[in-house]
Amino acid sequence: MKTTQTQSPEQIAASAIERILNYITFHPEDRKLNLSSLGRSWTISVRLHQADQPRAVGAKGSHVRALTDLVNRIGRRAAIPISFRLLEPEVGKPERHAPFSGQEDWDHEGVRELASDICNSILKYPVEVTSFDGDDFNSNLEIAADIREPKEAIDDLGLIITPLFNAIGKAQGRLLTVDLHSAQ
């Protein structure tokens, strides 16, 4: 999602959704992402394999709510309404929920880059993202926002990224904690 000046806000939002789903779902061949417009507003619609639907919805709708808030915030920053819709699956069969399986190796660089890109598409000032691994498959993603960023913006961003990056961590075999704070 490397944001460039040639990408529009709706393209940035669609790219963020695609990259997040690449981490938390397991049937990319059955994923359909559609970006449509009506006037100045945009809608990102996603249809997944039936086995991936629960991963995108999350416990009590936490992931789908965070994805919806993510695209809304990206659009709000550019004063363009962008919405997100998770459509009913048309292919696949449900699979049993697999228990957590810890992994030593995980894509920490890709996850850090995704976190940085998402934060920078929502916040006004650049963020610094670091990660480190602890014991027992625990990892920490530390995001330092610029001190000029309003506390409310940082808190709101935390509500969006925490459930998404927890899900990404679990899919990567890590118990990922997100620490989003203002840089000192």
Q: Rounded to an integer, what distance in angstroms lies between the CA atom of residue 132 and that of residue 123?
A: 23
Q: What is the pTM of this model?
A: 0.91
Q: Among 1.20.1270, 2.60.460, 3.30.70, 2.60.40, name the CATH number for the domain at 108-182.
A: 3.30.70
Q: Which is more confident, 146 or 96?
A: 146
Listed by start position, the domains of the chain span: 9-87, 108-182
pLDDT tens across 123-169, in order? 999 999 999 999 899 999 999 999 999 999 999 999 999 999 999 99
Whole-number pLDDT of residue 77: 92
Question: What is the dihedral sign for C-alpha 172, 173, 174, 178?
Answer: positive
pLDDT band at 2 (very low <50, low <70, confident <90, very high): low
Q: Rounded to an integer, what distance in angstroms lies between the CA atom of residue 18 and that of residue 32?
A: 10
- The answer regarding whether domain 9-87 maps to CATH 3.30.300.20 reads yes
